């Protein structure tokens, strides 16, 4: 197939890891006879420096026209001034909203060889295979808000949901569960929050259309605990925007490193944004030591969800599994006796395995 991919590496290690994702896409194109063209654009801090905007209109337009978007990460100490009016993170949120990507899929797998890299006891990790379906264009990130000012030191954010927003994300979760172990855990805070009580009611109603899928409701504090206590019991977790943000950082520790978790942000069409769940890690940016596997696994999701190239996606995931089995490790997942590689070398061995 022929496809146009927009790359927006952003800041920090986003640049390092997206380069390796592109390398893998080129290897896939060569091996399977596809033509992928790449267009690079700005987002986040580097976009603020160049244009004054965290998401320049030219970037959003290119992403709208693209067949798929590969993103790195945004942010860094240079743009961290809490009083700044423009922030890199606004670019990422505007992109998600601008493309109406309301469903963020974050799979958490544990490679058996990486069990030692996790802070959890290895036996807890047996059989862990879950996906967090995070609502991405609503909730606490997008409700009415007020910034504190020097003469009015109150501030607020609002967790606002309309029923249709809950319904469409619930449907994504149930559809996905049907292809997996047929269990949905809906995570909320219905004992305290009105928006969570609406969430619970709508998810329960949607479940009636999926009698073959089991539904359980869980409070978010309890879910945070059970994720560590019995992670293998989860299949599909569906939750509010910020709950999903927090729980996926926690869940990344099951796979050993933030550098292992991929994500796909999807809406109604086939276009999507694919990105590692980790941030821009300014402390290690440009040192060539970042783990590109989360981005490479995001490339697999891109091939599968935006291009319908299941065979190619499987091949990329298999190549990642092979290099891990062969003992290649970036610093974040290194354990004694393994082969320590840098960012580019990791990309290279994945391409060779492919």
Active-site option among 116, 221, 283, 314: 221
Instruction: Lay out the site mask for Mg ion across 244-263 (x = CB under 5 A, - = otherwise).
Output: -x------------------
Residue with tokens 């997206």: 18
CB atoms within 10 A of CB 305: 20
Candidate residues 245, 312, 332, 348; the one interacting with ligand IPM per rule CB under 6 A: 245
Please report whether residue 247 would count as binding ligand IPM according to CB under 6 A: no
The listed partner (ligand IPM, Mg ion, none) that binds 92, CB under 5 to 8 Å by sort, is ligand IPM
Name which of residues 88 to 147 contact ligand IPM (CB under 6 A).
89, 92
The 3-state DSSP class for residue 80 equals coil
Active site residue 249: yes
Instruction: Lay out the site mask for ligand IPM across 35-74 (x = CB under 6 A, - = otherwise).
Output: ---------------------------------------x
- Between CA 108 and CA 81 the distance in angstroms is 33
- Between CA 187 and CA 57 the distance in angstroms is 35
Nearer to ligand IPM, 136 or 324 (CB): 136
Residue ranges in 39-193 assigned as alpha helix (H): 45-51, 57-65, 88-98, 163-178
> Looking at 6-14, 146-154, 168-176, 242-250, which segment touches Mg ion (CB under 5 A)?
242-250
249, 213 in Cβ contact below 8 A?
Answer: no
Active site residue 189: yes
Please report whether residue 240 would count as binding ligand IPM according to CB under 6 A: no
Nearer to Mg ion, 80 or 126 (CB): 80
Q: How far is the CB of 270 from ligand IPM (least distance, A)?
A: 21
Q: How far is the CB of 44 from ligand IPM (least distance, A)?
A: 9
CB atoms within 10 A of CB 217: 17
Q: Kindly state the tokens that stand for 353.
A: 């395995």
Q: How far is the CB of 346 from ligand IPM (least distance, A)?
A: 22
- Between CA 247 and CA 25 the distance in angstroms is 29
Nearer to ligand IPM, 332 or 348 (CB): 332
The listed partner (ligand IPM, Mg ion, none) that binds 273, CB under 5 to 8 Å by sort, is none
Active site residue 245: yes
Rounded (10°) angle between helices 13-32 and 293-305: 50
**Partners of 113 in beta bridges:** none
- Between CA 354 and CA 351 the distance in angstroms is 5
- In total, the chain counts a number of residues equal to 354
Please report whether residue 275 would count as binding Mg ion according to CB under 5 A: no
Q: Bin 243: left if φ > 0, else alpha if -120 < ψ < 50, else beta.
A: alpha
Residues that bind ligand IPM (CB under 6 A): 74-75, 89, 92, 245, 277, 279
Give the footprint of Mg ion on this chain (CB under 5 A).
245
**Residues designated as active site:** 141, 189, 221, 245, 249
């Amino acid at each position: 197939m022929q496809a146009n991919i927009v790359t927006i590496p952003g800041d920090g290690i986003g640049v390092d890891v997206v380069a390796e994702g592109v390398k893998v896409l080129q290897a896939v194109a060569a091996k399977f006879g596809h033509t992928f063209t790449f267009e690079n654009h700005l987002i986040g801090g580097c976009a603020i420096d160049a244009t004054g905007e965290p998401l320049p209109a030219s970037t959003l337009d290119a992403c709208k026209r693209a067949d798929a978007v590969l993103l790195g990460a945004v942010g860094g100490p240079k743009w961290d001034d809490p009083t700044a009016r423009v922030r890199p993170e606004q670019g990422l949120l505007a992109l998600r909203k601008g493309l109406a990507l309301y469903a963020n899929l974050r799979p958490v797998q544990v490679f058996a060889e990486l069990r030692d890299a996790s802070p959890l006891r290895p036996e807890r990790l047996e059989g862990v295979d879950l996906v967090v379906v995070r609502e991405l264009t609503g909730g606490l990130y997008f409700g009415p808000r007020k910034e504190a000012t020097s003469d009015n030191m109150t501030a607020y954010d609002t967790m606002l949901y309309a029923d249709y927003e809950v319904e469409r994300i619930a449907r994504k979760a149930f559809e996905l569960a049907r292809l997996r172990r047929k269990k949905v855990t809906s995570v909320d805070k219905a004992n305290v929050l009105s928006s969570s009580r609406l969430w619970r009611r709508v998810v329960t109603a949607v479940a009636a259309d999926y009698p073959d899928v089991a539904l359980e409701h869980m409070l978010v504090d309890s879910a945070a605990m059970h994720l560590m206590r019995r992670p293998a019991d989860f299949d599909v977790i569906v939750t509010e925007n910020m709950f999903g943000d927090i729980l996926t950082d926690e869940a990344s520790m099951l796979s050993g490193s933030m550098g292992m978790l991929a994500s796909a942000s999807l809406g109604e069409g086939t276009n999507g944004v694919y990105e590692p769940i980790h941030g821009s890690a300014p402390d290690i940016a440009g040192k060539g030591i970042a783990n590109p596997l989360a981005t490479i696994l995001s490339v697999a999701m891109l091939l599968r969800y935006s291009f319908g190239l299941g065979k190619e996606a499987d091949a990329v995931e298999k190549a990642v599994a092979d290099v891990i089995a062969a003992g290649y490790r970036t610093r974040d997942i290194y354990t004694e006796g393994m082969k320590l590689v840098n960012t580019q070398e990791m990309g290279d061995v994945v391409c060779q395995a492919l």
